[in-house]
Amino acid sequence: MRTDAPSVSANGVATATPKPAPRRRSPALRKAFPYLLLAPALVYLLVITLYPGIFAIYQSLFVVKFLNWEWAGLGNYSSILQDREFWAALGNTALIGAISLSLQTGIALAIAYFAYRDPFIRGWRIVYLMPMLFMPSAVAFIWKLAFNDGRVISDLLGRLGLIEGNMDWLGSIPLARMTLIVADVWQWTPFLFIIFVAALQGQDQEIEEAARLDGASWPSIFWNISLPMMRPVIVVAITLRGIDITTMFTNVFVMTQGTPGGATETMSYFIYRQGFRMFNFGYASAASVLMLVLTVIIAQTVVKRAFHSGKK
Amino acid sequence: MAKARKSRGESMLVRYLVLGGWAAVCLLPILWFLSIGFRPRTEVITPQPIYWPTFSLDAWHLLMSDWPIAQYLRNSVIAVAGSVVIDLVLAIPAAYALARYEFKGREDIGFYILSTRMMAPAIVAVPIFFLFKTLGLLDSVWALMLIYAAINLSLVTWIIRSYMLDIPKELEDAARTDGAGDLTILREIIVPACLPGIITAAVIAAIFAINEFLFTLLIASTSNAYTMSVALANFTGGSDGIIYNAIALVSFIAFVPILILVILIQKHLSRGLTMGAVKG
């Protein structure tokens, strides 16, 4: 077999059309073959996405009280759209997500810029990865202890002379949101860093060398050459991270539970609270459907474009 | 020339300040949390934080006596390993079809698979809860296995597809002229050739599965199905409050194997995390 390979490969490249399989197989089966390969995975995903979607739409038309389903038409939707808590959750998710994502992107780019040419890059990478490898629930407890229960952050800031006494981090809206952002940035900046560094290392070194010989400084090379070249990668990475940030739940569940006054309640936590704390399942389903619609719109526009540019 | 050297020296200083600074940001909370795991409970929550605690194995003894850690670990391992197996069985043929065949709707199907990754767990939480309730699968590791598999299927498919695209077509053509069928080619040539991709996908899927929180919280209600991730949250409440030193210890018990796995696939990590969109 190995001795045959060269002649065949030359042939294959020249004609560029796949050779007809020597096995006899009906044309219908040949045509259906890729679909058959895909079928198990697709059926699985459809059951786990389409079924819940339909169920959520159906359930959202009822007021559900334990076993009793009472027809409500679009009642749930009209009350949700007037529910200040729903809009607050949407706003919180967008605000916390946007700040957190910008910080992560900025920090990851900055450290990737310094790290990728460094001789100790392998060591840095492992150190920087570590926060990402803790279970999210563990990370939430680290910061809950550091900010609130253990008063460590207050103590450290106090020693630096920045504040006096104990801060009540859950007592003010911006501070409570900030604790969530700190936990998210700490855990997930590595995700972007790893991708950015790989992109920078994968770049054509000769272009950088040439620019270097022309007397360009590293910051200007980075800004004018590297950054534009890695733009598709940045777009894909930010898109993926952005999607995950909008689903933020664990940190809210462990650290703030939405306090103070719902200022840290995210969409995911809103749905959870309506469904599994207050047992308004119809209401929670209506919120899910609205969030699904938003997701589909974002997926069809931003993500599709991001992954197309990423491929090229 | 001298000026260039000077600016280079300065930039080295800046470089190591930035890199060292961020390393400290990453490591100090971890080291401090490690110290939480090995101190007596009385030194965890104090009016003044204690940075040099007394060494103690209190948390370890608590875990061993009061807390069915072996059970939680076993649940995690069964659900996670099972889900990864399901993912590979479903994803390898699907990825092969997406990577190697021309057919109608290929782009759309590929994108549909990708888009399931974007669904927030909370969106499907209520329906999935009712689905498993109807199936009688609440509080069962099997339900968790099915859920984890579903969460990661898109990612696993896309990662493997990306590695399959890199395999030279000539390899398959040679086997085809030797009379090998499509499935034989997949098994004997494609799978071995993209093994790094398959391992990467499996490791990343396993990490996401270990981390999963919301579904596990809803589905598991007793130690029948509690995993490490959700069992952590179980240390809260009750008259004892949050038992941080035990939480810290459990966090590290889960952290070490994950760290080892990730170091093993380090080179492939960026490609895996972007589902193949970035080749590291």
Per-residue pLDDT tens for A283-303? 999 999 999 888 888 878 888
Residues 87-126 of B with CB under 8 A from A: 89-91, 93-94, 96-98, 101, 103, 106, 109, 111-126
Per-residue pLDDT tens for A48-61? 888 888 999 999 99
Per-residue pLDDT tens for B241-262? 788 988 999 999 999 999 999 9
Give the domain extent around B42.
2-58
By C-alpha distance, the chain B residue nearest A238 is: B274
Residue B237: count of CB within 10 angstroms of its CB: 9
Residue B92 in tokens: 């390898």
pLDDT at A16: 46
List the single best residue of B104, B111, B270, B275 to mutate versus A (max A Cβ within 10 A): B270
- Predicted confidence band at A14 (pLDDT cuts at 50, 70, 90)? very low
| Whether residue A95 has pLDDT greater than 70 | yes
What is the arithmetic mean of pLDDT over A157-175?
A: 88
Flag whether B122 is in a domain: yes
pLDDT at A252: 95
Flag whether B91 is in a domain: yes
- Predicted confidence band at A150 (pLDDT cuts at 50, 70, 90)? confident
| % of chain B with per-residue pLDDT over 70 | 94
Are residues B123 and A56, on separate chains, in Cβ contact within 8 Å?
yes
Min Cα distance A74 → chain B (Å) is 18
Q: Based on the domain organization, do B129 and B107 belong to the same domain?
A: yes
Q: Based on the domain organization, do B18 and B129 belong to the same domain?
A: no
Query: What's the mean pLDDT when you consider all of chain B?
Result: 88
CB-based contact (8 Å) between B249 and chain A?
A: no
Least confident of A76-80, A92-96, B42-46: B42-46
Flag whether B279 is in a domain: no
What is the arithmetic mean of pLDDT over B8-18?
A: 81
Flag whether B158 is in a domain: yes
Q: Which residues of B touch A217 (CB under 8 A)?
A: 7
Q: Based on the domain organization, do B39 and B79 belong to the same domain?
A: no
Q: ipTM of this predicted complex?
A: 0.89
Q: Based on the domain organization, do B48 and B149 belong to the same domain?
A: no
pLDDT at B171: 84
Which member of A53, A134, A198 has the closest CB to residue B270? A198
| % of chain A with per-residue pLDDT over 70 | 91
CA angle B254, B260, B266 (to 5 degrees): 125
Q: Based on the domain organization, do B232 and B108 belong to the same domain?
A: yes
Min Cα distance A227 → chain B (Å) is 15
pLDDT at A66: 74
Instruction: Report all structural domains of chain A as residue ranges with CATH numbers, in order of start.
Output: 25-59 (no CATH), 75-311 (1.10.3720.10)
- Angle at which helix B69-100 crosses helix B141-165, to 10 degrees, equals 30
Flag whether B280 is in a domain: no
Min Cα distance A311 → chain B (Å) is 6
CB-based contact (8 Å) between B189 and chain A?
A: no
Quote the number of domains for chain B. Answer: 2
A98 phi-psi bin (left φ>0, alpha ψ -120 to 50, beta other): alpha
What is the arithmetic mean of pLDDT over B149-172?
A: 92
What is the rounded distance in angstroms from the CA atom of residue A307 to the CA atom of residue B112?
13
Flag whether B278 is in a domain: no
Instruction: Report the SS3 class of residue A70.
Output: strand
Please indicate whether residue B12 or residue A60 has the higher confidence score (pLDDT): A60
CB-based contact (8 Å) between A283 and chain B?
A: no
Are residues A55 and B131, on separate chains, in Cβ contact within 8 Å?
yes
| Whether residue B214 has pLDDT greater than 70 | yes
pLDDT at B7: 53
| Type and span of the H or E element at A62 | strand A62-65
Question: Are the beta carbons of A278 and B126 closer than 8 angstroms?
Answer: no
Pure H helices in chain A: 5-15, 27-59, 75-81, 84-115, 121-129, 136-144, 152-159, 173-201, 205-213, 218-221, 227-229, 231-246, 250-251, 267-272, 281-298, 304-311
Q: Which residues contact B37 (CB under 8 A, 6 or more apart)?
A: B59, B245, B246, B248, B249, B251, B252
Are residues B111 and A304, on separate chains, in Cβ contact within 8 Å?
yes
What is the arithmetic mean of pLDDT over A73-89?
A: 94
Per-residue pLDDT tens for A231-288? 888 988 998 899 889 999 999 999 999 989 899 999 999 999 999 999 999 999 999 9
- Predicted confidence band at A11 (pLDDT cuts at 50, 70, 90)? very low
| Whether residue A9 has pLDDT greater than 50 | no
pLDDT at A23: 54
Instruction: Report the SS3 class of residue B13.
Output: helix
Q: Which residues of B touch A186 (CB under 8 A)?
A: 25-26, 29
pLDDT at B280: 60
Q: Based on the domain organization, do B46 and B164 belong to the same domain?
A: no
Q: Based on the domain organization, do B227 and B129 belong to the same domain?
A: yes
Among B58, B81, B106, the domain boundary falls at: B58
Q: Based on the domain organization, do B97 and B111 belong to the same domain?
A: yes
Q: Based on the domain organization, do B229 and B192 belong to the same domain?
A: yes
- Predicted confidence band at B188 (pLDDT cuts at 50, 70, 90)? confident
Q: Which DSSP string do the residues of A181-232 spell out, in sequence order?
A: HHHHHHHHHHHHHHHHHHHHHTS-HHHHHHHHHTT--HHHHIIIIIHHHTHH
Q: Based on the domain organization, do B222 and B212 belong to the same domain?
A: yes
CATH label of the domain that carries residue B231: 1.10.3720.10
Are residues A288 and B123, on separate chains, in Cβ contact within 8 Å?
yes
Among B58, B75, B97, the domain boundary falls at: B58
Query: What's the mean pLDDT when you consider all of chain A?
Result: 86
What is the arithmetic mean of pLDDT over A96-119?
A: 94
Residue A70 sits at φ, ψ, to 5 deg, of -115, 125
Q: Based on the domain organization, do B68 and B49 belong to the same domain?
A: no
| Whether residue B88 has pLDDT greater than 50 | yes
Residues B32/B34/B39/B40 CA torsion (nearest 10 deg): 110
Flag whether B127 is in a domain: yes
CB-based contact (8 Å) between A24 and chain B?
A: no
What is the arithmetic mean of pLDDT over B212-240?
A: 83
Among B58, B82, B104, the domain boundary falls at: B58
What is the arithmetic mean of pLDDT over B135-145?
A: 93
Q: Based on the domain organization, do B94 and B223 belong to the same domain?
A: yes
Question: Are the beta carbons of B254 and B80 closer than 8 angstroms?
Answer: no
CB-based contact (8 Å) between A75 and chain B?
A: no
Torsion sign across C-alpha atoms A292, A80, A280, B217: positive
pLDDT at B3: 46
pLDDT at A212: 84
Please indicate whether residue A7 or residue B131 has the higher confidence score (pLDDT): B131
CB-based contact (8 Å) between A237 and chain B?
A: yes
What is the rounded distance in angstroms from the CA atom of residue B92 to the CA atom of residue B103?
17
What is the arithmetic mean of pLDDT over B27-44?
A: 93
Which member of B97, B154, B177 has the closest CB to residue A38? B97
Flag whether B206 is in a domain: yes
Most confident of A292-296, B144-148, B172-176, B178-182: B144-148
pLDDT at B2: 43
By C-alpha distance, the chain A residue nearest B257 is: A133
